[in-house]
Amino acid sequence: MKKYELMALPYADNALEPVISKETIGFHHGKHLLAYVNNLNGLLEGSPLADLTLEEIVVEAGRLRAGELAPGMGGILNYAGQVLNHELYFGQFAAPKDDNQPTGKLAEAIVRDFGSFEAFKEEFQKKGATLFGSGWVWLSATPTPQSEEQLPSGRCAIGKLVITQETNAANPVLRGLKPLLTFDVWEHAYYLDFQNRRPDHLAALWQIINWEVVESRLFK
């Protein structure tokens, strides 16, 4: 059986300050995510899903739970979903940078589907701020390229970009989408640094997005 391990951060634990503090990284990555990984490994013992990739586990567990085809899939779906969500979340950051914006194909697709980067940011933050309870706000791409809507450069076609709210441990792969960017709105992601000021936390996160990583997910 494959054993999942806690992902290594691609930056120092204080590299995202002041947006995300070293203390928050310690709790969020070192304790919350570690617990999700350990619980997932325990649930996968003896499971027919044990040798699948993380994304495959989420999709298959979601299918089986929806059809009530196998017992115990809810727990596997929740923990696998949280491990996948957090790996995408922590993997998309870099040290803070002023005027941090996407470039290239991703930037073109954002303008195509939202009108401007500022309009996209406004909608994304609103979806994150208004999600009731715990969950995630995501930017994802539809899997089928829009051949009739080529990007201005003509270099390639990219599926339509969409913003979704996902509650608790859900991930856009359950909708057949390709996840690109996410903001975690569980309180443990921001409470040490921003207390109950979720909108302020969301607004600050743009400084630490590694847009090269986000764009690379379009083509995986």
Domain of 154, CATH number, reads 3.55.40.20
5 inside domain: no
> Both 163 and 188 in a single domain?
yes
Whether residue 112 sits in one domain with residue 85: no
Structure confidence at residue 175 (pLDDT): 94
Among residues 90, 116, 133, the one where a domain terminates is 90
| 122 inside domain | yes
Write the pLDDT tens digit of every residue in 23-74. 999 999 999 999 999 999 999 999 999 999 999 999 999 988 776 656 678 8
User: What are the C-alpha distances in Å from 174 to residues 23, 45, 52?
Assistant: 32, 23, 16
Domain range for 51: 22-90
- Return the C-alpha torsion angle 193, 13, 78, 220, nearest 10: 120
Do 112 and 71 sit in the same domain of this protein? Answer: no
pLDDT at 151: 47
Q: Does one domain contain both 181 and 150?
A: yes
Buried b (16+ CB within 10 A) or exposed e, 52-78: bebeebbbbbbebbeeeeeeebeebbb
Residue 180: other Cβ atoms inside 10 A: 23
We report the CATH number of the domain holding residue 72 as 1.10.287.990
Amino acid at 79: Y
Mean pLDDT of each 10-residue bin along the chain, 220 residues long: 92 98 98 98 93 95 76 88 98 97 96 98 98 97 62 63 97 96 97 97 98 94
pLDDT given for residue 71 in this prediction:
66
Single pTM value for the model: 0.92
DSSP letter at 188?
G
Count: domains in the chain: 2
Asked if residue 119 and residue 85 are part of one domain, the reply reads no
Give yes or no for a cis peptide into 18 (omega within 30° of 0).
yes
